[in-house]
Structure 1
Amino acid sequence: MAAPLKGWAKHNARQNELARDDLGGKGWVRGHVLNPDGSVGARRSAMAPGPGGLISGGVVVSVRMEGLPRIRAMLERAEKLSPAAVARALNRTAERARTDITRALVKQTGLKFGRIRAATSLWRASAGSLQAEIKAKGGFTSLKEFGARKTAKGVSAAPWGRRQVFDGTFIVRRYGGHVYKREGRRRFPIQKLYGPAIPVEMVKGQSLTAFNRAVQTELPKRLEHELGRIFGR
């Protein structure tokens, strides 16, 4: 007896069934991830490891920071006086960084603010663990989610915030209105197309820049505020 399918294999098997029902009783579907320039890249199954095809990514605001001597010195001083105060500063900084990252990802991915916000979470620092972490989970996002619409030459969509027409692509309404492309001249196989993944994008480009900027500007202010409270200023 065959083992039950899980994750991407289960999803792909279901897509196969739907494709056979809808497109003539034979054929198969594969998932491919688009590159930022619109070309078809690696297969989704190869780029989305983990249970259910989920990817995870994170950025950390920690008391052990390198390359920022002023901030590190302030952290070390505050840590000796009050670890709880440092934790508060780290958490306020992480909250600001999360908001800035989300705004950057709206432009970087082409997804809505609420969608990105829902994919991220904040692990808060405490007096016993002086590290705050912003995490994101999720898979590569179906091209359908980027305002996909049919045109004479193919489907128009805006992954990475740039609208373009993907020649030779088509939408199959019967199973979710996702976007597909044939791999060759024959009717099958066909590829389901995906855009960016939030966890992948979060740790690079404008998002990473926004994180670093938030840490460098917000953390010193929060530490000064907490030190001022300790010394009664």
Structure 2
Amino acid sequence: MVVTIELHADASDFEQLARGIARLPEQIKVKAASRAMRRVMQMARTRIVKRSAERVDLTQSRIRALTTVAMNAGGNSADIVMRSNWIALYKLGATQIATGVRVRMRGSYRSAFIAGMGSGHEGVFKRQGKARLPIHELFGPNPAHDITNHPEVFLQVLAEVIEDRLLPRYLHEVENLLPR
């Protein structure tokens, strides 16, 4: 899936700034751009994790563990990658109760039960019909699936961070790299 973000900026104030940046040594421009991009991508990751946690009703720490930021050292690109499968209800804090299973922040599942398999896997299961077998495992949300199904929400978050933070951060990094 290729994602394109369109940014809008007022060019009237940038003419003098552009001349000043053009006079900078190439090494400083590249280093400042790389540092600014890295910091802005970390900010974007934080905001994406926060928005995703709100949408799928999970803790930010659980979603943060699934999310990585990768920078292309030679180029001007970065990737924010969220990889996850459906999260097992057992991992969300399931408790066996008389009528089934209660899961923290998810509610109750009637007729469900917690079982351990011979392999050591534990999970929340439910029978298919009245017979003892077959059973199937119950799962909670998949944060990556939410991003795939609702890209406009997360693209808006990315666009806001880039528009608000990239240029000021780049100027900050240039200022730090210039000799005093």
**Which blocks of at least 5 consecutive residues in structure 1 are unaligned?**
1-57
1:95-106 map, 5 Å: 95-106=42-53
**TM-score, with structure 2 as normaliser:** 0.69
Identity %: 27
1:132 aligns with 2:78: yes
3-state SS of the aligned residue for 1:170?
Answer: strand
1:68-147 map, 5 Å: 68-70=7-9, 82-126=29-73, 128-147=74-93
**Which blocks of at least 5 consecutive residues in structure 2 are unaligned?**
none
Q: Number of paired residues?
A: 166
- Structure 1 pair 59–219 and aligned structure 2 pair: CA distance change class (3 A): farther
1:166 aligns with 2:109: yes
- Over the residues paired in the alignment, what is the CA RMSD in angstroms? 3.8
User: Which structure shows the higher strand fraction?
Assistant: 1
- Aligned partner of 2:38: which letter? N
- State the distance in 2 between where 1:170 and 1:116 align: 26
- Aligned partner of 1:191: which letter? H
Partner of 1:9: none
**TM-score, with structure 1 as normaliser:** 0.56
1:1-233 map, 5 Å: 66-70=5-9, 82-126=29-73, 128-158=74-104, 162-173=105-116, 175-202=120-147, 204=150, 208=154, 209-226=156-173
- Structure 1 pair 79–185 and aligned structure 2 pair: CA distance change class (3 A): farther
3-state SS of the aligned residue for 1:70?
Answer: coil
- Structure 1 pair 95–88 and aligned structure 2 pair: CA distance change class (3 A): same
- State the distance in 2 between where 1:133 and 1:144 align: 31
- State the distance in 1 between where 2:10 and 2:137 align: 47
